[in-house]
Structure 1
Amino acid sequence: MSIDSVKLITLPKIIDERGNLSFLEADNHVPFSIKRTYWIYDVPGGEVRGGHSYHNNKEVIIALSGSLDVVVDDGVNKKCFSINRSYYGLYIPNGIWRHMENFSTNSLAFVVASEPYSNKDYEYDYSYFAKK
């Protein structure tokens, strides 16, 4: 899978003087059916999350609060996406190595995934990943 397949998705943004609202729908804004959601929070300064790829799972990562950097890698090229708006989601297909870093204080990353959790879907060996 090429790094060019990683895309920033603009989610709907409904502006209202009482506060804005954004949302996402499976198979519409997100290019897959959602089978799992999770969120990452209270990340200590300097810590890195992720450091793996998935064989099957696809994800969209949204910074609901604060900011973080998502570094993606296809085994040849690397690219860093800074996400800091709750109406943007970063789509990462399967077969792309990723890690998250530079979490701001009180950041909240929300992730929607195409597959239920399975430890067998993770690839943690970067040297094996990069040889594919």
Structure 2
Amino acid sequence: MGRGQLPLSVLEVAIGVVVILSVTLGFALGPPAADTRGPQLDAYASDVATVLANEQPRHGGSTRLREVLASEATFDRERGALERRVERILPENVLFRVETPHGTVGLARPRQTTTGTAVIPTGIGRVRIEVWYA
């Protein structure tokens, strides 16, 4: 009595079905999406830096940022206006912190959070802007 064997054509069909299903699932599920949060946050921080570095001052100075950084007294005077300005620049779901030589504006950054950062070197000191999603 001979052993029972599957015909070769049945085996080929089974392998073909597995290959077709694998390719179909690959297209249906697609590759995993890239994490775009970091680059988008960097763009937000850069936008804030650009606006502050080029905006007209409210009281005096060459730019809004130089006005804020002129002294501790001007920083204290302009702190609230600076915070409101940055809030208006950013989308509602983005929080921020602006660090200057005279103090900070905004919230403390939560630990282990993806952030975007921009640094503005000025003649008065360095300004660091960090942003993150709420």
Q: TM-score range by the shorter chain?
A: under 0.3
Between Structure 1 and Structure 2, the one with more strand by share is 1
Between Structure 1 and Structure 2, the one with more helix by share is 2
Larger relative contact order (C-alpha < 8 A, sep ≥ 6)?
1
